[in-house]
Chains A and B, each alone.
Chain A
C-alpha cells in the first residue's frame, strides 16, 4: 500500500478540512444556548458556501482522493480528540456513540441500496433485532459480549433472509413495500410479545469485556473518565472495521458486480452474473453490519423498546444515505453527523425533526441529486498507475 501514495498530492488540504470540521463540531457540542447554536450552524453553512465559492473544496477533494490512508488515520485521531475533550460528559459521549453506530448501520444500508440497489425500509428493525439480541443474550447467557455483537449481526442477517424471497422475486417498488410491511409487523410483534417485554421493552445488561465492566466510570492518571468512553472506543473500532469492509467491497469485483446488477440486470445476466447470489450477498452483509451496530447500541443505551425501532427510524437511515451521497462511505459519515447531532442540539426543531429530514432530502434530491459528497468513479487502488 505504501507505493500507492507515490502521487504528489498533499495531505494538507484534507488535514485542514478535518481539523476545522472537528473544531466546529466540538464547539457545537459544547454550546447550550439556542441562539448561539443557530448562529453557529448558520456560520458553518456560510463557511462551506464561501469555501465552495472560492474553490477551496477542490483541493480538499483531491487530497482525499490521493492521500486516503493518511487522512483516514487522521479522521480516527479527530474522533479520539472529540472523545478526549468530552471525556467526562455522559450526554455528549452518548451522542457521539450514537453517531458512530448510525454510521455503521447506514454503511450496511449502503451495501444494500447504494451498491446492489436493493431498497431496505426496515433498517431500524434489523438494528432493533441486534439490540434485542443483546438484551436476551446478556441477561440469560454467559456468552462473551464481543461474540454477542457477532451473533446480533448474524441474527439480523438470518431474520432478514425471511425477506429474501419476496425481495428477490418482486422488483423495484414492490420490494420496498415488502420491507415497509416488515418494519410495521416487526414493531407490532414486539409490542404484543410479553417474552420480549411488550411495549415497555427490556433492560440490556452493559457490556463486559475480559471482566472489564463498561458500566463504571474510571480514571486514568487521575483524570476521571465517563463510562461511555469504553463504549466510544468499541464503537470506533467497529466503525473502522465496517468502513474498511465497505471500501473493500466497493473496490473489488464484488462491488463491480453489485453496481452492474443495480444498473442493468439484463446486461449483467448476459455476462454471467448470478443475480440472486449477489443480491443475497449484499442484503445479508448489509444486515450483518446493521445488526452489529444495533447490538452495541442496545448495550450503550441500556434498554430496548419497540418505539425505538419504528418505520420512521428506518426512514432516517435511508435519508442519511440519500443526503450523504449514495455509495460514498465518507458521505455517510458527514450526513450522519448532521442528521443525528443537529436536531439533538436544536431543541426548537426536535418536534419537527422529521419535517427537517424530509426538507433536507428533498432539497438534496432537487439541487444535488448525488448527495453532499457524490460517489467518485471506482479506483480499485487509488494512486495505482499501470
Chain B
C-alpha cells in the first residue's frame, strides 16, 4: 500500500489522530481517541492495565486496523497503510513483550530495524559482494556507535546471540533496533519493564542522549513508573477504558481527580 499525500499542507504537528476507535468484540479498546503531537515532543501515554495503550501503538503501526477515525503522519494519511509502509514513512517501535529474534546476533537484530536503509536487491546481495561488504561495514559502524550509547560493553559483542543476554540488555538492543533507521517518531511500549530504578534512569538518559543527536525525533512512551514520566515527558495523555480522560503536563494530570480515580480503580 502506498501513502497518498493529502491536500492539507505541512502543519507543525507530526501526528494527528482523530476519533480513533478499535473494538475487540464487546471491548472498546480505543474509544474516539484524539491526539496531536508536535515535532520533537515527548509524549507520555499512561493509563491502568487494559486501557488501550498497546492497542493504540498496534493501530498506529498498522498491525490492527482502525474501526473508525483517522491517523495523519506528517500530513500523510496512514490510517489504512500497511505496517511496512508506516515503517518506511518513519515510525518505529519497541514491543511491550520484547520481540527480538533470540538465535540471531545483536548486530542482526539491529539490522532488522535498518531494513529501509539497506540495499535489498538480490543481485546486490548475492553477486556484488564487494559493494555489499562496504555497506555491511558502514552499517556495522553505525550499529556499534548506537549500542555504545546504551551499553558500551555490548558494543564489543555485536556477533553474540541475543539469547545469551539478560533482559535489560535485550530491552536496550530493542531500542537500538527501533532507532537505527533514524525514525521521525519512536514508540516505546514500557521500555523499562523489569529494570531497577537505576537502570531505568540510565536508560531514559540514554534515550535523551540519542534524541539530542537525531534532531526532531518525536517520542511516545508508555510507562508505568511515574517518576520517569515526570522527568522526561513534555506532556501526557491518560487513557482509561480506551478513552482519553486527561491531558496536559505531568503536574496537571497528576492533580486530575479523574486520573487518580482511574488509577485507584474507583468509578
Residues of A within 8 A of B (CB): 245, 248-249, 252-254, 256-257, 259-260, 263-264, 266-274, 281, 377-381, 384, 386
19 CB < 8 A contacts A-B: A249-B125, A249-B126, A253-B111, A254-B125, A259-B108, A263-B102, A263-B103, A264-B99, A264-B101, A268-B112, A269-B82, A270-B61, A270-B93, A271-B92, A271-B181, A272-B87, A272-B88, A378-B159, A380-B133
- Contacting pair A269 B104 (CB below 8 A): no
Please state if A248 and B160 are interface contacts (CB–CB under 8 Å). no
CB-contacts of B90-128 with A (<8 A): 92-93, 95, 99-105, 108, 111-113, 115-116, 118-120, 122, 125-126
CB distance from B29 to the nearest CB of A (A): 17
Q: Known contacts A271-B177, A272-B87: does B103 contact A253 (CB below 8 Å)?
A: no
Is there an interface contact between B126 and A254, defined as CB atoms closer than 8 Å?
A: yes
- Across the interface, B95 reaches (CB within 8 A) one of A248, A254, A267, A272, namely A267
Give B117's nearest chain A residue, CB to CB. A272
Complex Cα–Cα for A267 and B111 (A): 13
Residue of B nearest to A270 (CB): B83
- B residues sitting closer than 8 Å to A (CB atoms) are 61-63, 82-84, 87-88, 92-93, 95, 99-105, 108, 111-113, 115-116, 118-120, 122, 125-126, 129, 132-133, 136-137, 140-141, 144, 159-161, 177, 181
Q: Within 8 Å CB of A281, what residues of B?
A: 122
B84: chain A residues within 8 A (beta carbon): 269, 272-274
Q: Which residue of B lies closest to A266 (CB)?
A: B63
Across-interface contacts of B120 in A (CB, < 8 A): 253-254, 257
Establish whether residues B126 and A252, one from each chain, have CB atoms under 8 Å apart when the complex forms. Answer: yes
Are B161 and A377 touching (Cβ within 8 A)?
yes
Decide if A259 touches B104 in the complex (CB within 8 Å).
yes
Q: Which residue of B lies closest to A278 (CB)?
A: B120
Within the assembled complex, what's the spacing in Å between the Cα atoms of A384 and B140?
Answer: 11
Q: Which B residue sits closest to A255, measured CB to CB?
A: B125
Interface centre among A253, A269, A281 (most CB of B within 10 A): A253
- CB-based contact A379/B159 at 8 Å: yes
Q: Which residues of B contact A259 (CB under 8 A)?
A: 101, 103-104, 108
Across the interface, do A386 and B63 meet the contact criterion of CB distance under 8 Å? no
How far apart sit A164 and B116, CA to CA, in the bound complex (Å)?
Answer: 25
| Contacting residue for A252 out of B62, B132, B161, CB 8 A | B132
Known: A267-B99, A270-B83, A377-B160. A260 touches B112 (CB 8 A): yes
Residues of A within 8 A of B63 (CB): 266, 269-270
Name which residue of chain B comes closest to A4, CB basis: B133
Nearest CB in chain A: distance from B118 CB, A: 5
Check A378–B108 contact: CB distance below 8 A: yes
Which residues from chain A contact B129 at a C-beta distance below 8 Å?
A: 248
* A267 and B129 alpha carbons, distance in the complex (Å): 28
* Nearest CB of A to B141, in Å: 7
Roughly how many angstroms separate A274 CA and B120 CA in the complex, as a whole number? 11
Tell which of A269, A379, A386 touches B83, judged by Cβ atoms closer than 8 Å.
A269
The answer to whether B115 touches A272, judged by C-beta atoms less than 8 angstroms apart, is yes
Q: Is the CB of A271 within 8 A of B87?
A: yes
Residues of B within 8 A of A269 (CB): 62-63, 82-84
Q: Would you call A248 and B125 a contact (CB within 8 A)?
A: yes
CB nearest neighbor in A for B98: A267
Q: Contact check, B99 vs A253: say whether CB atoms are below 8 A apart.
A: no
**Contact status A256-B122, CB under 8 Å:** no
The complex places the Cα of A270 from the Cα of B90 at a distance, in Å, of 11
User: What 4 additional pairs, Cβ within 8 angstroms, besides A253-B118, A256-B108, A263-B102?
Assistant: A273-B112, A273-B115, A384-B137, A386-B141
CB-CB under 8 A from A381, the residues of chain B are 133, 136
**Bound-state Cα–Cα, A12 to B108, Å:** 31
A residues less than 8 Å from B137 (CB atoms): 384, 386
Contact assessment for A271 and B99 in the assembled complex, using a CB-CB cutoff below 8 Å: no
In whole angstroms, how far apart are the Cα atoms of A176 and B101 in the complex?
23
Distance of B120 from chain A, by nearest CB (Å): 6
Is the pair B125, A270 in contact by a Cβ cutoff of 8 Å?
no
Tell me the smallest distance from the CB of B101 to a CB of chain A, in Å. 4
Q: Quick one: closest A residue to B187, CB to CB?
A: A270
**A268 nearest in chain B by CB position:** B112
A182 to B148 alpha-carbon distance, docked (Å)? 51
With A267-B99, A271-B112 in contact, do A252 and B125 touch (Cβ < 8 Å)? yes
Contacts of B104 in A (CB 8 A): 256, 259-260, 263, 377-378
Nearest B residue to A374 by beta-carbon distance? Answer: B103
Q: How far is the CA of A270 from the CA of B112 in the complex (A)?
A: 10
A226 CB to nearest B CB, Å = 35
Q: Which residues on B sit within 8 Å (CB–CB) of A260?
A: 101, 104, 112
B108 contacts which chain A residues (CB < 8 A)? 256, 259, 378
**Considering the complex of A and B, which 5 residue pairs feature the smallest CB-CB distances, nearest first?**
A252-B125, A263-B101, A269-B83, A272-B87, A272-B115
Q: Is the CB of A380 within 8 A of B136?
A: yes
Contact pick for A270, options B87, B133, B140, CB 8 Å: B87
CA distance A74 to B84 in the complex (A): 44
Q: Residues of A contacting B160 with CB < 8 Å?
A: 377
Contact between chains at B112 and A267 (CB < 8 Å): yes
Q: Which residues of B contact A271 (CB under 8 A)?
A: 87, 92, 112-113, 115, 177, 181
CA distance A111 to B137 in the complex (A): 25
Q: Given the complex of chains A and B, what is the CA–CA distance between A267 and B96 in angstroms? A: 12
Closest to B119 in A: A253
User: How many Å lie between the Cα of A236 and that of B105 in the bound state?
Assistant: 33
Contacts of A264 in B (CB 8 A): 99, 101
Q: How far is the CB of B73 from chain A (nearest CB, A)?
A: 15
Distance to closest chain A CB from B250 (angstroms): 29
- A274's closest neighbor in chain B, by CB? B84
CA distance A378 to B119 in the complex (A): 18
In the assembled complex, the Cα of A253 lies from the Cα of B140 at a distance in Å of: 13
What is the distance, in angstroms, from B137's C-beta to the closest C-beta of chain A? 7
